[in-house]
Chain A
Amino acid sequence: GQSLEQPSEVTAVEGAIVQINCTYQTSGFYGLSWYQQHDGGAPTFLSYNALDGLEETGRFSSFLSRSDSYGYLLLQELQMKDSASYFCAALNDYKLSFGAGTTVTVRA
């Protein structure tokens, strides 16, 4: 089966940096995605890593180490609007398996 582990919640102040770790156990692994979901909203795509290394998209970066079955999402220069749930998702056999999500709360 598929298994992804990520912290349940993180709290930080505006302007800070937050790292959300994700470890996975999955067969047929293609890559690791990250999705953001605001309360009451739909998941929206943030990033995808198929290869080892760091992918940067504005204030958000994502990292993957296939040999360690590990990835992380880095949120920089936190803003209040970044308060949301963040999900790592493993792409395997053409489908996504989601972690339980990390609730990020940004405080002024």
Chain B
Amino acid sequence: DAGVIQSPRHEVTEMGQEVTLRCKPISGHNSLFWYRQTMMRGLELLIYFNNNVPIDDSGMPEDRFSAKMPNASFSTLKIQPSEPRDSAVYFCASSPGLGTDTQYFGPGTRLTVL
């Protein structure tokens, strides 16, 4: 059974460029979460979806960040324009439903903005 799939695994870009991170949740999971992890701020929830609908985006740091979930098997997190302080590991996680105790994390995308 495939786990959460994220692409790319590594991304290096220059300041000002648009970055798109992709996530495929586990089939049958209704909830999807985007996290960012840095040494300074730890693991932060950015946004989460339930049944493809954004429920809470209060963790999205700025308008430069946007996320979509056009269908049950695909989500994107976009940063436009990117800045060096966006450098982090971005994780996508899915769970069978809201309030489920277990979230399954993807391998993450390590983003470096020069």
Determine if B105 and A44 form an interchain contact, defined as CB atoms under 8 angstroms apart.
Answer: yes
By a beta-carbon cutoff of 8 Å, the part of chain B in contact with chain A is: 31, 33, 42-45, 48, 50, 55-56, 91, 93, 98-99, 101-108
For chain A, the bracket of interface size reads 20 to 34
Distance of A30 from chain B, by nearest CB (Å): 7
Q: How far is the CA of A97 from the CA of B107 in the complex (A)?
A: 19
**Are B98 and A48 closer than 8 Å at their CB atoms?**
no
A46 to chain B, nearest CB (A): 10
Whether A87 contacts B99 in the complex (CB less than 8 A), given A43-B91, A44-B105, comes out as no
Main secondary structure of the interface of A (DSSP, over half): strand
A-B contact pairs, 21 of them (CB 8 A): A31-B101, A41-B107, A42-B91, A43-B91, A44-B105, A45-B102, A45-B103, A48-B101, A91-B101, A94-B48, A94-B50, A94-B56, A95-B33, A95-B45, A95-B56, A96-B33, A96-B45, A96-B103, A97-B45, A100-B42, A101-B42
- List of 8 A-B pairs having minimum Cβ-Cβ separation, nearest first: A48-B101, A42-B105, A94-B98, A98-B43, A45-B102, A100-B42, A43-B105, A94-B99
State whether A87 touches B43 (Cβ < 8 A): yes
Q: Are B48 and A95 closer than 8 Å at their CB atoms?
A: yes
CA distance A62 to B44 in the complex (A): 23
A33 and B101 within 8 A (CB): yes
Q: In this assembly, does A13 line the interface, its C-beta being within 8 Å of a C-beta of chain B?
A: no
Chain A nearest Cβ from B31, distance in angstroms: 8
Most A CB contacts (10 A, CB to CB) among B43, B45, B93 go to B43
